[in-house]
Amino acid sequence: MSFFQRVASWLANEAITGSLARSKTFQRFAQVSHQHVQNISSQGVRAAEKLKSSEAARNLSSEANQKFGQVRTFSQSFLRNIKEVCAYA
């Protein structure tokens, strides 16, 4: 039964793909969609570069590094304390 399902699925895919490939409306839709995606992607890249070069992003990055250092120190101390408690138990 699965063989027949695969054959039917393949035939349906071939028919659908062929009809969409010949359809001018679908081709136009695909082209316009592609252009929109490209435009949005390039806008995102430009925005990311602008944000990366901004002073606020640099300050935020240094603050984040400082906070990560504090978290690392806390977690190391916490693990040390847990090991000491477990050693006594």
Output 4 or 55, whichever has higher pLDDT: 4
Q: Give the tens place of pLDDT for each residue, 23-75.
A: 999 899 999 999 999 999 999 898 888 877 777 767 777 778 888 888 888 88
The model's pTM is 0.47
Between 24-53 and 2-22, two packed helices, what is the crossing angle to 10 degrees? 90
Residue 89 confidence (pLDDT): 56
State the chain's maximal CA–CA distance in angstroms: 77
Residue 49 confidence (pLDDT): 82
With contact defined as beta carbons under 8 Å apart, do 9 and 1 qualify? no
Residue 40 confidence (pLDDT): 92
Per-residue tokens: 62: 């240094």
Give the Cα separation of 20 and 29 in Å (integer). Answer: 11
Residue 31 confidence (pLDDT): 92
pLDDT band at 80 (very low <50, low <70, confident <90, very high): confident
